[in-house]
Structure 1
Amino acid sequence: MKYLIYFIIIAAFIDTFSQLPIMSPFAMTFDPSPAFAGLVVGMYSFSNMIGNILAGFWIDKSGAKKVLVSGLFLTGIILILYTFADSPMHLISVRFFHGLFGGFLVPAAFTAISNRGKSNNQGKKMAVSGAAVGCSAIIGPAFGAVIASNYSINWVFLIIAATMIGCSVLAFMFLPPGKLKDIEEKSSHSEKMPSLIKNPMLTASYLGAFSLMFAQGSLAYLLPLQVEELQFDSMYSGILLSTFGITAILIFLLPVNKIFDKYRHNNTMLAGMLIIGIALILLSSAGSLAFMFVCMVLYGSGFALLFPSINALIAKHTTEKTRGKAFGLFYAFFSLGVVAGSTILGFLGVTFNIGFLISAALLLLTVCCMSIYFKKRSSVLLKSQE
């Protein structure tokens, strides 16, 4: 069953990644202002954050299967409505519900993966899950850009809608329902979300998620604009975004993925954030396609270190009775990061150079603060053991 869950993860992230190269230009066909484009890109993530939190409670109460099946089906239906959008408010409304229903998917899928198998290989397991995300990062942007360029944006929405509805049928037919009675008994004694935030290691993973997706939101908003400003063909937006996915998936699947269980997850998390920050600084001054591809390879390397590490921290520092809410809150921070990245930069109206530097500064500041905290925490633990 784990392979079906990996397939669902691929489908869920293809839904997100396929829109990265097309959503900003699509929004500008309704209203040419950068602020509106940033709002449309960020609206999905704003409502996705709400969906993530609701999914966390629902998962712990009823199990992952119901959440997955419902989320996949409703997301498929709402994608069809993009083809009927005829005004700015209509587009924003569709984006809101798309994000809301899409927010059910990833927490449920990662909770199901985390609850399977042994707890001492969470890092490698999350690396394989990250490979599924990497597949989506390869397929999604290129698919979105190529289909939109050769046919129309509406065909992107319709094909992804059919994929989502098909996945909902597969999940309904083949995923085991789970021991709902046990889940209900556990959920009545489970922790509240505020207590999860107070866990230092969970908080670190949430900050890592926010920083990563602030950078991702900035990339989704600024990279197509950078490609357009440099007068390259628009399809290169998708190809560049796919490049970081190819890099990440190679790291996830090659024997080097053993590092995720060999080294502390917080250390690999910080290394990933540092590398992404450097990649964004370099991307801000990129003036050629070749150099942009180098930057995206570097970005993909950082993503490959960061994504499994923050997921493994969640799995390691939670139990089955709290994992649904923990992952729901975790992916809410993902969504919050995208909202902040795309919307803030859109309203500021900054150039792509300044936008990438702002994102890099946030990542590097977070790395510094976390490094100081982890160093102090290690010192306290050493003293307590003496």
Structure 2
Amino acid sequence: MKFLIYFIVIAAFIDTFSQLPIMSPFAKTFDSSPAFVGLIVGMYSFSNMIGNILAGYWIDKSGAKKVLVSGLSLTGMILVLYAFAETPMHLITVRFFHGLFGGFLVPAAFTVIARGKSHKQGKKMAVSGAAVGCSAIIGPAFGAVIASNYSINWVFLIIAATMITSAILAFVFLPSGNLKKVKEESSHSEKMLPLLKNPMLAASYLGAFSLMFAQGALAYLLPLQVEALQFDSIFSGILLSTFGITAILIFLLPINKIFDKYKHHNSMLAGMLIIGMALILLSSASSLAFMFLCMVLYGIGFALLFPSINALIASHTTEKTRGKAFGLFYAFFSLGVVAGSTLLGLLGVTFNIGFLIAAALLLLTVCGMFIYFKKRSSQLLKSQE
């Protein structure tokens, strides 16, 4: 069962990552204006946030399996419609529903992963992080290779077939969980606002937003830096793969035991600090070798941060609130990506300044959280005396 759910995580993220190199060129084939191309590309992330939040409510009401199977089936069907889009309005409508239904997948999958022993959450989230990392490496290459050798439509059709096959496998093999308990408690289920007021969940959401703001900045600025330093454009992809490979190695090697050995919020802060340092160093990098070193450092920070923020959600929620908590969590993920690339694009800053802005956001967040956690720890000690 656990291998199936990790396969589904890989499939869900490949769906997202495979779009990166092909969606803008695909949108341009519809004779769209540059502004409309941007809207088409961004529509997925916008509707994905809505899907994440809706999925959270649905998971807590009906169980993660039902949401996951429905999300996989609907996403598979909507992907087929890309091949039949004939106008920009057709395409933007398909993009909206693709993002909406795709938003069901990740909260449902991670709710399933979070079941079981609480003291193993860090390691489980590390393995799931490796699945995401594999998708980040495979997805863009898959999209680019299939589109260039066959057609863009084949990218959508192959992923559609993978999604529908995954839906069938999930329906047959995934356990339903304690549906009776979920249904009994659904009427008393918490709303989104109380979850945001939970300090540990709020810290996880801030961590998710900061991580993906940095990721959006990296995706936007790194190609500009490679171009400005007059390196071959292929190194943009290789550098991004370097951080992904570094993170995967940490996720899968025996070192992943650290995620359950130390408190999740401490490893989260360490990860954010390391990513901030990597971005500062990257802002002044002028050689390819130093850029690779920065990306290895970034990968180490990502490896510490991603499982920690997921484990915080799993450890500080109950079965009746976990779906909404993960839905809200991945909405912050989508928001961070959009904010990172869009804000820096609107500011029109150089890659040097852009990396420093992203680093400043991370480091300020780290300082604020460190002060809060220290104060919270002191209050707990006093209450125990």
The answer to whether the superposition gives a TM-score over 0.5 is yes
Q: Which runs of 5+ in 2 are unaligned?
A: none
Give the CA deviation at 1:149: 4.6
Q: Which one-letter code corresponds to 1:19 in the other structure?
A: Q
Residue ranges of structure 1 left out of the alignment (5+ in a row):
none
Q: Which runs of 4+ in 1 moved over 6 A?
A: none
Distance 1:37 1:63, change over 3 A: same
The question of whether the paired residues in 2 share the 8 Å contact of 1:202 and 1:317 is answered with yes
Deviations 1:157-182 (A, max 9, x none): 33222222221121122222334332
Equivalent in the alignment of 2:170: 171
Percent of aligned pairs sharing the same letter: 85
Taking the TM superposition and a 5 Å limit, the aligned residue runs for 1:208-247 are 208-230=207-229, 232-247=231-246
SS in 2 for 1:188: helix
1:157/1:260 CA distance change after superposition, 3 Å: same
Following superposition, the deviation at residue 241 of structure 1 comes to 2.3
Partner AA of 2:2 in structure 1: K
- The 1:327–1:180 alpha-carbon spacing in structure 2 relative to 1, beyond 3 Å, is same
Q: CA deviation at 1:57?
A: 0.7
Aligned length in residues: 384
Paired residue secondary structure (1:173):
helix
SS at 1:318 equivalent: coil
Deviation at 1:288, TM superposition (A): 4.3
Give the TM-score normalised by structure 2: 0.91
Q: What residue is the counterpart of 1:191 in the other structure?
A: 190
Matched residue, 1:50: 50
Range moving further from structure 2, 35-44 or 314-323: 35-44
- For 1:39 and 1:229, how far apart are their aligned partners in 2? 27
TM-score normalised by length of structure 1:
0.91
8 Å contact 1:142–1:242 — kept in the other structure?
no
Aligned pair 1:103/2:103, yes or no? yes
- Listed as ranges, the matches of 1:211-360 within 5 Å are 211-230=210-229, 232-360=231-359
Amino acid across the alignment from 1:139:
I
What is the alpha-carbon distance in structure 2 between the residues aligned to residue 270 and residue 382 of structure 1? 21
d(CA) in 2 for partners of 1:207, 1:137? 22
Letter in 1 for 2:222: L
**Take 1:345 and 1:24, find their aligned partners in 2: how far apart are those partners?**
19
Deviation at 1:99, TM superposition (A): 1.4
Specify the alignment match of 1:369 in structure 2: 368
Shift in CA distance, 242/147, structure 1 to aligned 2, threshold 3 Å: farther
- Deviation of the 1:86 alpha carbon: 5.3
Q: Displacement of 1:282 after TM fit?
A: 2.8
- 1:19 aligned residue: 19
Per mean C-alpha deviation after superposition, the further-off stretch among 216-225 and 168-177 is: 216-225
Structure 1 pair 280–147 and aligned structure 2 pair: CA distance change class (3 A): farther
Further displaced range: 72-81 or 248-257: 72-81
Partner of 1:63: 63
Report the CA distance between 1:129 and its aligned residue: 1.4
* TM-superposed deviation, 1:191: 1.5
* 1:257 maps to amino acid: N
Q: Deviations over 1:88-111 (max 9, x none)?
A: 544443332221111100110110
For 2:55, the aligned partner's letter is A
1:268 deviation in Å? 0.5
In angstroms, what is the RMSD of aligned CA positions?
Answer: 2.4
Distance 1:274 1:149 in 2: 39
More displaced stretch, 174-183 vs 69-78: 174-183
Spell out, residue by residue over 1:310-340, the C-alpha distance to the aligned partner (whole angstroms, 9 max, x if none). 0111111111111111111111111111121
1:198 counterpart letter in structure 2: K
Residues 280 and 145 (structure 1), Cα distance of their counterparts in 2 relative to 1, 3 Å cut:
farther
